[in-house]
């Protein structure tokens, strides 16, 4: 087993030189995307700039990310303050198999009718209310309230949405549900929402990012297409593809809904980390004396990022929780401490590689907006990986410090909880203000 782990360590531990070179390639891909040249980064305009912090009023916010649909009722008070008055959340896929609004068997109308029903549960009756919609997939914005889905990501495959105007689909579903008084006013990506929420109260927020089921980053481009035309850009950075990948990454990609796409996301995000661990364990456990009886590990996607979090959180001397976990997943009752350490090590390598790749992409963006790293830059991050995965946030800061030494102190990160949803309310407020 130690030899297998040594091998893993080699391929899953990017050096500072690797991180630097990924960040340079990332910056290059940004420039190509901005100039309309072929690039893995789509660099999609949001038709929004930063809020001034004084946006006010009551808004509905709908946050559709791929795992859950969340609905919020948000009051913006101005001066960078807001209150979430009510919230609800529903899973898109029932764990008992009763429904699945993520698969190709679901139609666009079925999905949006489900979403409209969720909105109905929180919508105050009678009163006309603007709604901000966070739709977390690559979309071509035509303006602040109109976006065509380019393609699904994160293994979602609902029929009849790709190529269509998402606001039109939502508006029609709200009408079918009798919610004519709920008026879609803005549609944004979750990274844009996170950046808007953070900059509503912290003006030095320059990047908004999601490290959760998916991964992506947005930033404020000061000169979009014309000098002095500032615009928040959704990079769709999960599609970045210039990375040192392993045989496990290639296996995941080959079996995915969209082979060849979202390579950064497939290497770093919560949707795929459990599957990466499963493929590694299948490899190292079956090659070792810890031979697995037929078990969960044979089934694709049977492990999740939560399993990884549980493994990494085990700080008992004998790694008792990991021993129990191996009984559940491998039906193996006789694991040695070395076996358990190997499992923990593999999980740790996956998580630190994820954080290092993500940090490299952030450094690429900062290189673009401030080549000498002279100013302070705040990176606002939302998502379960950043919030809950043991050691994740620290590993991002560590990578930034190792690569940028003294100047790294100017780069800060923080969790913006509910940032993607609250950002939809802020976007709706900006859009309504513009109309006046």
Under the rule (CB under 6 A), what is the footprint of ligand GLC?
A: 65, 136-138, 153-154, 189-191, 210, 214-216, 236, 238, 265
Q: Report, in Å, the least distance between residue 111 CB and ligand GLC.
A: 16
Q: Report, in Å, the least distance between residue 21 CB and ligand GLC.
A: 23
Nearer to ligand GLC, 40 or 191 (CB): 191
Nearer to ligand GLC, 48 or 285 (CB): 48
Nearer to ligand GLC, 59 or 135 (CB): 135
**What is the chain's alpha carbon radius of gyration, rounded to the nearest angstrom?**
22
Q: Report, in Å, the least distance between residue 4 CB and ligand GLC.
A: 31
Q: Report, in Å, the least distance between residue 70 CB and ligand GLC.
A: 12
Nearer to ligand GLC, 23 or 136 (CB): 136
Q: Report, in Å, the least distance between residue 409 CB and ligand GLC.
A: 28
Residue 34: other Cβ atoms inside 10 A: 18
Structure tokens at 57: 């009023």
Residue 376: other Cβ atoms inside 10 A: 12
Q: Report, in Å, the least distance between residue 332 CB and ligand GLC.
A: 35
Place of tokens 């990017």: 14
Nearer to ligand GLC, 45 or 138 (CB): 138
Q: Report, in Å, the least distance between residue 369 CB and ligand GLC.
A: 19
Nearer to ligand GLC, 65 or 80 (CB): 65
Nearer to ligand GLC, 339 or 382 (CB): 382
Residue closest to ligand GLC, measured at CB: 214
Q: Report, in Å, the least distance between residue 33 CB and ligand GLC.
A: 14
Nearer to ligand GLC, 325 or 392 (CB): 392
């Amino acid at each position: 087993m130690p030899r297998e782990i040594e091998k893993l360590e080699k391929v899953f531990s990017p050096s500072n030189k690797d991180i630097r070179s990924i960040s340079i390639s990332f910056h290059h891909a940004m420039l190509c995307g901005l100039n309309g040249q072929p690039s893995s980064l789509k660099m999609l305009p949001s038709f929004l700039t930063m809020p001034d912090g004084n946006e006010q009023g009551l808004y509905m916010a709908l946050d559709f990310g791929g795992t859950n649909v969340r609905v919020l009722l948000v009051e913006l008070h101005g001066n960078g303050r807001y209150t979430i008055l009510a919230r609800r959340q529903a899973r898109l896929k029932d764990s008992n198999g009763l429904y699945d609004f993520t698969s190709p068997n679901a139609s666009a109308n079925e999905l949006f009718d489900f979403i409209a029903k969720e909105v109905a549960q929180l919508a105050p009756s009678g009163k006309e209310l603007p709604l901000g919609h966070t739709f977390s997939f690559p979309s071509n914005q035509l303006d602040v309230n109109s976006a065509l889905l380019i393609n699904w990501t994160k293994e979602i495959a609902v029929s009849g949405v790709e190529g269509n105007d998402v606001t039109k689909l939502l508006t029609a579903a709200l009408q079918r549900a009798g919610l004519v008084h709920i008026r879609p006013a803005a549609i944004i990506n979750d990274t844009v929402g996170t950046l808007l929420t953070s900059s509503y109260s912290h003006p030095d927020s320059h990047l908004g990012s999601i490290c959760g089921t998916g991964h992506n980053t947005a930033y404020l481009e000061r000169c979009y297409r014309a000098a002095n035309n500032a615009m928040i850009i959704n990079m769709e950075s999960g599609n970045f593809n210039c990375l040192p990948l392993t045989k496990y990454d290639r296996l995941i990609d080959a079996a995915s809904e969209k082979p060849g796409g979202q390579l950064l996301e497939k290497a770093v995000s919560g949707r795929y980390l459990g599957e990466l661990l499963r493929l590694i364990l299948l490899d190292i456990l079956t090659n070792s004396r810890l031979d697995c009886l037929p078990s969960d590990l044979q089934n694709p996607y049977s492990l999740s990022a939560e399993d990884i979090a549980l493994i990494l959180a085990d700080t008992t001397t004998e790694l008792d929780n990991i021993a129990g976990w191996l009984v559940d997943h491998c039906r193996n009752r006789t694991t040695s401490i070395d076996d358990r350490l190997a499992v923990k090590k593999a999980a740790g390598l996956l998580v630190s590689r994820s954080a290092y790749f993500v940090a490299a992409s952030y450094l690429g963006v900062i290189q673009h907006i401030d080549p000498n790293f002279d100013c302070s830059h705040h990176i606002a991050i939302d998502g379960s990986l950043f919030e809950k995965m043991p050691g994740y946030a620290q590993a991002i800061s560590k990578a930034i410090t190792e690569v940028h030494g003294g100047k790294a102190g100017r780069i800060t990160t923080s969790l913006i909880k509910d940032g993607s949803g609250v950002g939809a309310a802020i976007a709706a407020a900006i859009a309504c203000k513009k109309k006046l």
